[in-house]
Structures are given as structure tokens and as C-alpha cells.
Homo-oligomer: A and B are copies of this chain.
Amino acid sequence: MNLNFNERYKNYTDIINKALDEYVPERECLQKNIIKAMRYSLTAGGKRLRPVLCLATAEILGGSVEEALPFACAVEMIHTYSLIHDDLPCMDNDDYRRGRLTNHKVFGENMAVLAGDALLNRAFEIMLDACIKDEGMETGTGKKLYNRIKAMGLIADAAGINGMIGGQVIDLESEGKTISPEHLAYMHKCKTGELIKCSIMSAAVLNNADENDYNCMKSYAENLGLAFQIKDDILDIEGNFAVMGKTAGSDAANQKSTFVTLYGLEKSKAMLREITDQAVNSILKLGDRADFLRQLAENLANRNN
């Protein structure tokens, strides 16, 4: 069956949304309110960019969606927890996210802190479950299990102080300051880039990508992450609430340095074009099988939310 890009993207998000729903099931228990809080943010939709990248990479490299799915969903849980904590009054103090009230506005600050913690923890639980449940893993050769551990390790590193959390710290401490282009680039590499990259590279590791495929994917992933952030900064100026689901201009309100404040709107758009081209060209060697990822890079550059 030959699916066009949109059909394939929707297929992936349907699989992801169903799995996320099942990984954090509602149930009657004394701690049911934290489950509600976790689910409120986890099932709020969004692009599901990171897990889609993971599943698509797995398929492109000849692997299965099923094996990659826990890793894809773990990355989405980590992304979601970071949004909940970012939105807290002591952080960016945002009232809206994806067009809905933020988690702490609905469940209270204490529950929002814990719901974020629980989603990070749950991300590791589901990856570990995926390692443990395979029958025969215990007595067979460790290769397949080892690949899963390496994939989990990439995700853990990308989420930590040299990745997402580190980027968030640098972001907070850069507010109100004029920062250098290198500082801005490093901040975004950490804050957004690493988690996007690990979505792709975890799938590459799971599926034993050969050196050529691995390097193509790595270059694609790094360029895509950077392009994604430049576009985000452009949208923060040009976007509007109805389409974005959050308040445009919040970077300016928080006195944040962005690609637009540093380079201006025109230069930022030219950079976005150039880096998107680099992402697309990175995977030319992979041939037709990588069409989906090329189209995805183009769509991200042209998105309006």
C-alpha cells in the first residue's frame, strides 16, 4: 500500500496516540488524580513530531514500528513533562498550551510538578518493560537487548543536563541578557535539538543502522532540530493564538534572546531555508525510502504552528 505523506503521518500519530493512552490508563485508585493530570497533558495532541520521527526512522531502516513504539512514546512523555514544568509559575508562567489551560492551572502547582516527575519516570518504565518482557532475551545473545539499552541511553542523555534540562537552565539564566550566537546555538542544541536527535538516533541504534545510514541520519537529525527551533522563533513573532494555541510574543515578553532578536526576521528565514536544505540533502543517499523524512523537513519549515 502506497500512502502519501499526510496519510502516513496520520497513521503514525494514530498508533502513537493509542499507545500513549494505553501506557497511562485511567483507573480507580487513591492516586487517580495524578493519572488524570498526566493524561491531561499527554493526550492533548500536538504534532507528535518526536515519536513520528522515531517510528519513521525505524521503518526506513527496515525495522518494525512495534519495536520502536515504547521508545517513541517515552520521548513524547519526556517532551510532555518538560512542557508541564516549563509552564509552571516559577518557570515561564504560561496559562495556555496547545490551546488549553496549562496543567498547573487545572490541577494545581503541586500536582503539576508531580505529574511531570511521573511522566519522566514512566518514560523509563515503559522502555524497561519493553526490554524485560521479551521472552528468550535472558538466555539468548545480548545483542538485541544491548541495542535497546543503548537506545535508552541516548534518550536519557538527551533529556539530562547536557541536553534538554541543561538547555532549559541556560534559557532561564539568559533571560534579559544579550547572548552570543554561539551561546544561542548551544542553548537550542541542548533544549530542543538533542531530544529531536535522539528520537531519530534511538531508532537507528535499535535497528543496527550501518555506518553510512547512521551518519546520514545523524546529520539529518541535527539540522532538523536546528531548523525546528529557528521556525519556532519565527512563529513566536509571526504566529497568532488561534493557530498556535499559545500566546505569540511570549519570548519578547520574557526578554528572551531568539534567532529573530539576534539575526532579524529576514536572515532567520534564510537560515531556516538553508538548514532545511541541509537536512534534506543529508539523506539523499538513502534514496526513495527516506522520502517521508525529506517531506517532513519541508513541512516543518512551512508550518504555521
* A contact set with B: CB distance below 8 Å: 30-31, 33-35, 38, 81, 85, 88, 90-91, 108-111, 113-114, 116-118, 120-122, 124-125, 128-129, 131-132, 137-143, 145-146, 149-150, 152-153, 156-157, 159-162, 165-166, 168-170, 172-173, 183, 186-187, 190
4 closest A-B pairs by CB: A90-B109, A142-B142, A31-B166, A128-B153
Please name 25 pairs of A and B residues whose Cβ atoms are closer than 8 Å in the assembled complex, sorted by A: A30-B169, A31-B162, A33-B169, A81-B117, A88-B110, A88-B113, A90-B108, A91-B113, A114-B165, A116-B117, A117-B117, A117-B120, A118-B160, A118-B165, A120-B120, A121-B161, A122-B161, A124-B156, A137-B142, A138-B143, A138-B146, A140-B141, A140-B142, A142-B142, A145-B145
**Separation in Å of the A24 CB from the closest CB of chain B?**
9
Of residues A33, A85, A121, A157, which shows the largest number of chain B Cβ atoms within 10 Å of its Cβ? A121
**In whole Å, how far is A113's beta carbon from the nearest beta carbon of chain B?**
6
Nearest CB on B from A193, distance (A): 14
| Count of identical protomers in the assembly | 2
The reply to whether B114 and A169 contact each other, CB–CB distance below 8 Å, is yes
The A contact surface, by secondary structure, is helix
Find the residue from A90, A111, A173, A190 having the highest chain B CB count within 10 A: A90
Please determine whether A113 and B128 come into contact, CB atoms closer than 8 angstroms: no
Residues of chain B within 8 A of A124, CB atoms compared: 124, 152, 156
